[in-house]
Structure 1
Amino acid sequence: MADLPAHAQVVIIGGGAVGASCLYHLALSGVVETVLIEKNELTSGSTWHAAGNTPSFSGNLTIMKLQNYGSRLYDRLGEDVGYPMTRHRTGSVRLAQYKERMQEFEHVAAMANAAGIDMRPLTVSGMVDDYYPWMNGEGLVGGLWDPDDGDIDPAQLTQAFAKGARDRGAKIVRFTKVTGLNQRKDGSWDVATDKGDIKADVVVNAAGYHADEIGGMVGREIPMVTMSHQYLVTEAVSELEGLSNHIPLLRDPDDSYYLRQERQGLILGPYEWRATPHWLTGGTPEDFSFQLFEDDLDRLEWCIDAACKRVPMLSTAGVQKVINGPIPYAPDGLPLLGPAPGLSNFYEACVFTFGIAQAGGAGKAIAEYIVDGGPELDLWCVDPRRFGDYATKTYATVKAIEVYQNEYAINLPHRPWPAGRPAKTSPLYDRLASLGAQFGSFGGWERPLWFAGDGDRAEPDLTFGRPHFHEAIAREVETVTTNVGLLDLTGFSRFEIAGENAAGWLDCVMAGRLPRTGRVTLGYFCSPAGALASELTITRLEEDRFWLVGAASGHWHDRDLLQAHMPNDGFVTVEDLTPRHVTLALAGPKSRALLQSVAGEDIGDAVLPWMAVRPVTIGMARGYVMRMSYTGELGFELHMPAEVAIPVHHQLLAAGKEFGLGCFGMYALDSMRIEKGFRSWKQDLSTEFSPLASGLQRFVDLDKPSFVGRDALVREQENGSPLHFVMMELEPGDGAEAPGGAPVYSGSRPVGLVTSGGYGHRTGKSLALGYVPPKFNAAGCELEIGVFGERRPARVLAEAPFDPDNLRPRSKG
């Protein structure tokens, strides 16, 4: 056992597969003054009892790439580090019992193939005849083949990572418990253990189901709960004896289980409906190393019966043992991987529900964060800052149960996930509900998606095609287009930047030019590598006072982004105003007339031109009005104190009767913003693209002498961007719109991807936004887009199909 050194560049807490992968990948990157601290033996947490499956499959392209990296790494890791491992690359068959499941498979296979990952949809006869003859194909409509899938011994994987790291100089200290963490003024950390202290420049929390204990040492409540997952291992099965190779792994997502070979027997792992959380009171046990929960096979009865009917040889096998072990779950079932919220030089690589499949990619990402300042992939889907302060233990528990019970559920675009809601509500929530609002969650905040009228059914159809409320959305868009619509956008992240050097500091951080006093602009913030880190609306209220407003889901992300660049000279301050204000959007040709009828000030075009701001009084409420709109219509945003939301909303509804006012929701807003080519953060804008590639050159001022990312953007302007943002119009199909991640083809070759798509109700067009290489971005370029297995012709548009000259939002009204 290695001694604890006095100092390390990086200290990793936790010796499972993920922690060992972080150590290994840091060593590969040249960071060898690293120490991994494990309270027991390596693999003693969730790793030792994991089933060890290594799928690439995911409905999320980023997760698919993360997992596929690990799968391919595992094929060669043993040879690379000189540590033989039991690795079976068997491939897997996924079964589809319904049309929508097969549509999901078609979409995932297309995404995978475009990313260089081999997946193939299968017919029922093809599956049974060529891939899995042990199966009863009754009731199936098709399947999917993933040739990179398989399994690996989790303990051997961890030891291989450990050996590879040690051989490069990294240290592993076992049977040593971390007892405290304290950050010094210079940003480094004192890591206290029961064997002494160590100073670390950077700390990584890879403590698995003990991650919340480590988080508590730094004042961080980790959004997680420990669930029990059972799988059973059978005795030898006669059909498998004598086979030279392991049979493919089988997954039946519609009956919610996986089945794979283990020696001459089988492993059956169901995700049953009776999901069981543990350790909800009293915390995680001091030491649960190499321990399991008691068997509870009654929970699995239905899944076992379904699996035996599907694969008859399973019913002939006796049960050799049952594994019922602890697995950590985050509220959305994805890990926490990246910078810890509110902390510097502290990363999280924990709460992995599928830690073996994702360990390889996780270690690579952590090394890229620490060495390069950011990962190759945009990892927002696993960023620890994607949750806010609403993600309490109660929230994490009910969401984890929901995720576990729906582990294999199809992520249909309009499917509601009700657990843990509402978490945060606008003061207008009850009023909007009474008006028929059907809500969705945005960064924990409830916002109306659409409004159900008389005779409208609220429950959504579970389909990839047009929802039954398609016409309701059309009515909302029509109201905005011809009269005036009202939308509650409460939940925006809002920060006030002030001080005598506020303007100078902001100018050195954002890529574009600051607005003049009384004006508004879009501000883009980049990484040093020129990647697009965030989009914030910049409002200059006074010469040295600004409001920065961003996405609700980006609250902690944007707070940390600003704090990371904040000077310590006292001449700039940042204040988080997020919970203190509501935002009401008015849009449509009659929006100015309506607002003028209730406002105490002149809001005419002369005093409130496009992208301007001014104080406004509505009855007894004071706030600000900004002339801007995400709809492409004449529009205004009212930013008011939260305590006056109800009276202001009441006055707008009362006065609005004269102007044909109607409420609209986020679905209608999305339709209209796509028609205008307006980008959405973390859909169309991500760290995998620069603002230049995203077509936002007008918001980038390369003539400024300095701002974060400038040098990288200058190089990109000189050399050209490898991908360009485009708008595309698709030929009409069966009602399904192009989903994010859908590949864009030129002939048979994938050349780009869709980032968002939808139906434009004002134009009657099926539209998609995305990225293609420069040779395909010319107006009129003929392409195809894969839409759930259908290749749909598409063409690149020269300009937005609705109001390309932007006359409507600039109109005098």
Structure 2
Amino acid sequence: MKSHVKALVVGGGAVGTAIAYHLARGGWDDVMLLERDELTSGSTWHAAGLLPLFNMSYATTHIHKYSVDFYKTLEAETGLNAGFSVVGNLRMAQTDARMDEYMLYASTAETCGVPFEWLSPKDIKDRWPLVRTEDLKGAIFHPTDGYINPADVTMAMAKGARQRGVTIERRWQVDGYEWTGSEWRVTVTKMVEQGGNLVPSDERQVITAEHVVTATGNHAQRTARLLGIKIPAIPVEHQYIVTEPDPALVEWRKTNPQHPVLRDADAKWYVREERGGWILGPYEQGAPARFLYDVPESFRADLFPLDLERIEEEYMSMIHRIPTSEHVGLKDDFNGPICYTPDGNPLVGPAPGLRNMWLAEGFSFGITAAGGTGYYLAQQMIEGEAEIDMASLDPKRYGSWVTTEYAARKNEECYAHVFILHHPDEEREACRPLRTAPVYDRQKALGAQFGQVNGWERPNYYAPQGFDDHAARSFRRGGWWQYAVDEAKAIREGVGLIDATAFTKHRVYGPGATAFLDHFTCNKLPKVGRINLTYALTSAGTTRTEYTIVRKGEDDYYLVSAGAWTAYDADFLTKAAEDHMKAGGGFVVIQDVTTQYGVFAVAGPKSRDLLKELIRDAAPETALSNKRFPWLSAREIELGMVPVTAIRVAYTGELGWELHHPIEMQAHLWDRLMEAGEKYGLKLVGARAQNWLRQEKSYRAFGTELGRDATPLEADLPRFVDLAKEFNGKAAMEAKGIRSKCVTLLIDGPADADPWGREALYDGETRVGRLTSGGYSVVFGKSIGMGYVTPEVAVVGKKLKVKMLNRLWEAEIVEDSPYDPKNEAIRKDG
């Protein structure tokens, strides 16, 4: 066995073999894959092999589409048939809400080039008469996917990898990782058979590798312990059953092709043909998490006992949907572990806190995702970035606050939600509340309906007591919509209070801080007492993170970034500072202070008047004036008994301040603001109204308009890029040019719906882009959205169309900041 390689892939399932294959195809000629048992012996061997293209995530849809296309090429390359049955995938709907879900998904599919067809109940019955359809509303059909043999496709990728020079070693278990500062020393042990079990032998070796990728599936918790990190990937039981041949199906197949994979999402199952019978795969309630800490040595290609009572409801609904299956016996059953994560997306990308360590863990749809994961992760490793934004899959989207118990319970919830309606405004309930600000109970008593951001409870909107947020969810304007309208109007017309405590906050200080940040970010650094908006770029020149930088001293900075990305930003900052110091730069301290400070945003035309009531100053009447406290500046002030770092900036585009305060004093500050606010009609405002308001100002948001697939110049933010200086990613950014451009659109959409930020944009019959954000504008009285279009159509006044609810609606590109383009409101003096 080799003792040194460029890249070591740990795990020989479908995901690991796909990664090894694509690293070799990408030009790395010294790649080795290790498998502790036999290839496919993990979850791959008992997977049902379905290839569903349906996904609400832009990145995951690209990954799944690549896999489906890639698998069709393997036989020509390797001579091995991957067992791909391109029978299509039929998703049936029993309700109008389910059809709304499919229509929203279809817009995402269009932006990724995924083909689909709409079918009526009659269309379904005409094509597949064994399916009962009288209680269906319709279906969406994907003709290009179907199912595949997991073992066959894995072996085909393994052969393709070997043909490209990859070394594959079986029966070797990794027992230790050590980073030397330039490479990994990986200790491996030879595994041997003993009484039917696989046990470690006395044979050990050390492999040095420049890069390591872990694709260890059910063994992710062991991998996490060996690396000293947290990986919230824990398996959940998934069972499916195989019936005896169905005589009606056998007769049908004498003159007809296979049925597509049938999915009755409202009944929570999939069904496909199998040797004249049916495979039923339910996603039921109550499936337990397994292997929370380790996989037993005795568990190899094994299964759990079947729990038929748990899936009785789903089994009966299959009989309802396919009546001929009622008298068919059961031939086989499977109940095996499939890894999940709290949000259902896999963990793909650099490991937190480690160099050249890459994770590919937590795949609940591993066969579907394997090929695309290999392709895009290889791009990240070889080229520095993938061609799509992979941030939504990044392992650092979960912080160190995530525990084993949290991951297990959220993963169980995620499994049970596979076929539950995926409302864009859904908020899942498991493990909540967990991370709460001191004023959580006060907010709840006042009607706050909470969302979860990085574990934090954050008000989405406020409603009367007894309001049912779950019942209010919709693919159109939900029951919460009018409350958000009222909140947005209050900001525009009076004054509102927003809890922004979840913001990520870092202190960066030390003698090398200024030089470090100057190269780390693309904008000029602010002067002492001032603030600036800036971006840190990837090595590919795209947007890695957005920061508001407050300069508190010559070499003392306070950085504010998106609340969902605390660990993601902390890891990036820390590693960049280490590189700066290693290259001879001055000493820099990076300190995550997110949980030390709460944040309230007070905004609206009356915000200054309200704060004057509380400010303790020798001249309170002028303390907040433009002369003493200009726009885009920061000051240390006192509000009542609370010391506050006040920043004159407002994400809503109105006159306003962010009040960063010691979190232990938050309750006191809240009470004082509420008392003073009565005089001015203060209204509590949630995140949904704030999202609409920032679109009226064309403020880009990280994770939507800003990401690792577009540069700040493509985001149309040249005013925040100082091309006179050198900064990380500058050359790559300039080399990319303008491939697409971010624009704001006002939309004459349906009377009962607004875009969600996943919709395709058309110029006539030509698709020219996609929305990344959407909502409602209280100023213009119509829908609003932001997104990317091809440069030639990115012209103010250009008429486009937006695909919503399976129709094209009129839209017009408007000037940036359609509300108050001269920033007169936000600069208002007083």
TM-score, normalised on structure 1? 0.96
Q: How does 1:450-461 map to 2 (within 5 A)?
A: 450-453=461-464, 458-461=469-472
Give the structure 2 partner of residue 252 of structure 1.
264
Question: Superposition pairs for residues 164-179 of structure 1, below 5 Å?
Answer: 164-179=160-175
Aligned to 1:546, which of 546, 549, 557? 557
SS in 2 for 1:680: coil
Find 2:313's aligned residue among 290, 295, 302: 302
Contact 1:742–1:787 (CA under 8 A) maintained in structure 2: yes
**Structure 2 letter corresponding to 1:765:** K
Residue type matched to 1:129 in 2?
Answer: D
Residue type of the alignment partner of 2:625: G
User: Aligned with 2:326: secondary structure?
Assistant: helix
Distance 2:130 2:20 in 1: 41
The corresponding residue for 1:661 is: 682
Deviations 1:678-731 (A, max 9, x none): 111111111111111101110011121x21111122234xxx412111111111
Once the two structures are TM-superposed, the CA of residue 187 in structure 1 deviates from its matched residue by 4.8
List per-residue Cα deviations over 1:470-522 (Å, max 9, x = no partner): 22222222322232211111121111111222111111111111111111111
Structure 2 partner of 1:711: 731
Per-residue CA deviations over 1:444-491 (Å, capped at 9, x if unaligned) read 111111112368555542322212232222222232223221111112
Counterpart among 620, 641, 660 of residue 639 in structure 1: 660
Correspondence for 2:718: 697
Q: Distance in 1 between matches of 2:75 and 2:183?
A: 37
Aligned counterparts of 2:101 and 2:20: Cα–Cα separation in 1: 36
Alignment partners' CA distance in 2, 1:478 and 1:299: 49
- Aligned counterpart, 2:607: 591
Amino acid at match of 1:416: E
115-124 vs 235-244, greater mean Cα deviation = 235-244
Residue equivalent to 1:137:
133
The answer for the alignment partner of 1:506 in structure 2 is 517
Paired residue secondary structure (1:112) = helix
Partner of 2:197: none
- Which letter maps to 1:722? R
Distance 2:279 2:377 in 1: 32
Q: Which residue of 2 aligns with 1:381?
A: 392
In the alignment, which residue of structure 2 is the partner of 1:356? Answer: 367
Q: Paired residue for 2:357?
A: 346
- Aligned-partner Cα distance in 1 for 2:88–2:469: 41
Give 5+ residue unaligned stretches, structure 2. Answer: 191-203, 618-622
1:391: Cα distance to partner? 2.1
For the Cα contact (< 8 Å) 1:477–1:762, is it kept in 2? no
1:649 and 2:670 aligned: yes
Number of residue-to-residue matches in the alignment:
804
| Per-residue CA distance 1:75-118 (angstroms, 9 max, x = gap) | 11122122233221111111011112112222323332343221
Q: Which runs of 4+ in 1 moved over 6 A?
A: none
Please give the alpha-carbon distance, in whole angstroms, between the structure 2 residues aligned to 1:428 and 1:454: 17
Q: Whole-Å Cα distance in 2 between the matches of residues 108 and 666 of structure 1?
A: 23
**Contact map agreement 2:604 2:655 (CA 8 A) in 1:** yes
The match for 2:596 among 580, 588, 594 is 580
Matched, 1:51 2:48: yes
For each residue in 1:281-316, what CA deviation from the matched residue of structure 2 results, as whole angstroms up to 9, or x when unmatched? x63212421100012111111111111111123223
Deviations 1:558-613 (A, max 9, x none): 11211222123552221111111111111011211221221223232212100000
Could you tell me whether the CA contact under 8 Å between 2:341 and 2:414 is conserved in 1? no
SS of 1:503's partner is: helix
Distance in 1 (CA, whole Å) between partners of 2:169 and 2:77 is: 23
Tell me which moved more, 413-422 or 563-572. Answer: 563-572
Alignment partner for residue 775 of structure 2, among 758, 765, 775?
Answer: 758
More off after superposition, 244-253 vs 83-92: 244-253
| Comparing 46-55 and 460-469, the one that deviates more | 460-469
Structure 2 counterparts to residues 714-729 of structure 1, below 5 A: 714-716=734-736, 720-729=737-746
Q: Tell me which residue corresponds to 1:267.
A: 279
Q: CA deviation at 1:336?
A: 0.8
1:768 aligns with 2:788: no
2:810 to 793, 796, 802: 793
Partners of 1:495 and 1:576 within 8 A in 2: yes
Match of 2:299 in 1: 288
For residues 654-685 of structure 1, give each alpha carbon's deviation from its aligned partner in whole angstroms, at most 9, with x where no partner exists.
22222222211111111211111111111111
- 1:342–1:556 contact (8 Å) kept in structure 2: no
User: Take 2:431 and 2:348, find their aligned partners in 1: how far apart are those partners?
Assistant: 22
Sequence identity (%):
37
Amino acid at match of 1:461: A
- The 2-side partners of 1:785 and 1:520 are apart by 37
* Structure 1 runs not aligned, ≥5 long: none
**Secondary structure of the corresponding residue to residue 511 of structure 1:** coil
Q: Residues of 2 paired with 1:57 and 1:464: CA distance?
A: 17
Aligned with 2:825: secondary structure? helix
How far, CA to CA, are the matches of 1:146 and 1:785 in structure 2? 22
Deviations 1:737-784 (A, max 9, x none): 112220001112211101111111233121111111122111211111
What is the CA–CA distance in structure 2 between the aligned matches of 1:644 and 1:452, rounded to whole Å? 26
For residues 64-83 of structure 1, the aligned pairs below 5 Å read 64-83=61-80
Aligned partner letter, 2:151: A
Kept after mapping to 2: 8 A contact 1:233/1:265 = yes
SS in structure 1 opposite 2:783? strand
Query: 1:321 aligns to what?
Result: 332
Secondary structure of the structure 1 residue equivalent to 2:242 = strand
- 2:505 corresponds to 1:494: yes
For the Cα contact (< 8 Å) 1:189–1:201, is it kept in 2? no
| TM-score normalised by the chain length of structure 2 | 0.94
**Aligned partner of 1:424 among 423, 432, 435:** 435
Structure 2: distance between partners of 1:658 and 1:336: 49
